[in-house]
Structure 1
Amino acid sequence: MRNSFMRKINVYAGIAGMLLIFLFAQSCTQYQRLLKSDDYELKYKRALEYFEEGEYGRTIALLQDIIPIYRGTAEAQRISYYFSMSHFHNREYTLASHYFKTYVSAYPQSEHAEEFLFLSAYCHYLESPRYSLDQSNTRQAIRELQSFINRFPGSDRVADANELIDELRSKLEKKRFKTGKLFLDISDYVAAAKTFETMIRDFPDTEYREEAMFLTIKAYFNFAYNSVPQRQEERYQDVISAYNQFVRRYPQSQFMREAQQMENTAREVIDRSQQRRQEEMELTGNND
């Protein structure tokens, strides 16, 4: 009896599956016929229905056909709204950002202008990759979020925009810091020092500031140490300058012991160089 019941279940499941396949095929056939149709009102109607059903790809295809037809009409703005939002929901963020800005440019007084400017920036935020990759979208997102804040300072979305900016800036800080460490690892000491210095200048409140200032000392020290003797004195001066800035900012730093060792070595080299130069001057004077 149980086997008979299971056979019936399998038959019903098979029928249901075939029915779903048939309905899907019918839906696709109707959609394809609609795409080829010149019934623009029906296309418009079905595009909005597809939007509500979450079929954003179909909405985009149908609206794309009718945008030129409705251009300059009372419906153009509404079509543009759904077209932009469909790209966003379809996760086509680069296109969505473009159409959001296009919409705001065309309808600056629209009730959706604030929302769309925020979403345009948010699209770039969503496209921002991990810190080790190209950060063009990260920087663009920051610019657009700041522009949004400047234009709508009283918006409820300002707090969200500031949070996103902080997150994106942290990513840029990390990339810059890691780049500096990479330069240090491959012995490009000048590039390392300059990278750390510009990072501190551009991101003065960065969480990496203490270590970056220490590594600046280390980069200048290694550069001076590996220089020809005639250039060491002036280059060790950079070590002392970087150390003085570091100790003023972080007198109790965990890196202080190593930083002091490098500063002491730098002073010893400079003192020996100056002493040698003084002796040479005295010797020259005696010969005269």
Structure 2
Amino acid sequence: MRLRNVSLLILFITSLVAGGCSKYQKLLKSQDYELWYTEAMAYYEKEDYTRASTLLSQLVNIYRGTERAEELNYVYANCLYGLNNDLSAGHYYREFVKNFPVSDKAEECMYMSAITYYNMSPKPRLDQTPTEQAIQEFQLFINMYPNSSRVEEATLLMDELRDKLVYKSYLNAKLYYDLGDYMGNNYMSAVIAAQNSLKDFPDTKYREELSFLILESKYIQAVKSVEEKKVDRLRDAIDEYYTFVNEFPEGKYKRRADKILSDSESMLEGYNKEEV
């Protein structure tokens, strides 16, 4: 009896699904665009974004330039976002702002455009073009709507994205450092990369890591230098030490920095004795 009841339940559910699919297929084959509109909105309200977006992809063209165009484009963008299609959703959000700039939905769509880029921002080791685009979009949103309730969140997300860019640049500098003498003087490249990061993002939370990388790279470069450049580079490393400890007197790299100073001064003292 229990197996029979289960079988009947499965049959009932299957018939419902089949009936629903049959109804949807008939709808797609029809030319009743008013019915398409009604059903698309119903699917959207039920968060059936797949079926809704299929209908809306046609309706946004059919009703272009009409009173329904604004609503259809807004709902279509939201459907694409609901399907996690950030690339297409972002495009339609930006098109909405462009085509309906005075709409009461324009603010939301501009913000969502930035959010789609934020969602596409990859891990720090990968190309950060979407991250840079997200920052630009958030900044544009803040400039356009400085009194928006979304400004605070936009600012926080921008800070998060900037930290990702800095970490990416730190990884680039660290890569040069790890390459060492392989096919050239990569320590100088590490110093330049880290200095550029600090110049572009002076308030980054990775400031201490970048600063110590500069110090350590300068020290190793000095140790590995040819004799005629070693003294000047040791002095440069010592100067960099004082710059570092002045900013991070109790930092997590203090002990390693002190060792660099001690070794640099010892080597420099040896060269001074030779000159005497």
Q: Which consecutive unaligned segments of at least 5 residues does structure 1 have?
A: 1-6, 280-288
Q: Is the counterpart of residue 244 in structure 1 residue 242 in structure 2?
A: yes
| Rounded Cα–Cα distance in structure 1 between residues aligned with 2:256 and 2:54 | 64
> More displaced, 43-52 or 107-116?
43-52
Most deviating of 141-150 and 205-214: 205-214
Q: TM-score, normalised by structure 2?
A: 0.89
Name the larger-Rg structure: 1
Q: Output one character per residue of 1:76-129: Cα deviation in whole Å (capped at 9) or x when no partner.
A: 111111111111111111111110010010000000011111111111112222
Counterpart of 2:212 in structure 1 is 214
Moved more, 108-117 or 236-245: 236-245
Give the 3 Å change call, closer, same or farther, for CA 208–20 of structure 1 in structure 2: same
Between the two proteins, the alignment pairs up a number of residues equal to 271
**Local SS of the residue matching 1:103:** helix
* Match for residue 29 of structure 2 among 15, 36, 52: 36
Distance 2:157 2:33 in 1: 41
* Cα distance change of structure 1 residues 254 and 57 upon mapping to structure 2, 3 Å threshold: closer
Correspondences of 1:61-140 after superposition (within 5 Å): 61-140=54-133
Write the distance in 1 (CA, Å) between the matches of 2:230 and 2:49. Answer: 66
Q: Distance in 1 between matches of 2:127 and 2:167?
A: 13
Query: Which piece of structure 1 moves more, 63-72 or 167-176?
Result: 167-176
Select which of 185, 190, 193 maps to 1:192. 190
Matches of 2:252 and 2:60, distance apart in 1: 63
Instruction: Identify the range of structure 1 (83-92 vs 252-261) with the bigger mean alpha-carbon deviation.
Output: 252-261
Q: 3-state SS of the aligned residue for 2:249?
A: coil
- Percent same amino acid at aligned positions? 35
SS of the residue aligned with 1:49?
helix
Aligned-pair CA distance for 1:184: 1.9
What is the alpha-carbon distance in structure 1 between the residues aligned to residue 222 and residue 4 of structure 2?
83
Q: CA deviation at 1:47?
A: 0.9
User: Take 1:68 and 1:80, find their aligned partners in 2: how far apart are those partners?
Assistant: 9
Query: How large is the RMSD of aligned CA atoms in angstroms?
Result: 2.2
Partner residue of 2:161?
168
**1:264 shift after superposition:** 4.5
**1:47 is matched with which residue: 14, 28, 40?**
40
Whichever residue aligns with residue 210 of structure 1, its letter is: E
What one-letter code is carried by the residue in structure 2 that aligns with 1:169?
R
Amino acid at match of 1:125: Y
Distance 1:84 1:261 in 2: 58
**Residue type matched to 2:45 in 1?**
E
Moved more, 170-179 or 19-28: 170-179
Distance 1:13 1:112 in 2: 48
The AA in structure 2 aligned to 1:185 is: D
CA shift digits 1:249-275 (9 cap, x unpaired): 123334334324433444555566577
Structure 2 segments unaligned to the other structure (5+ residues): 181-185
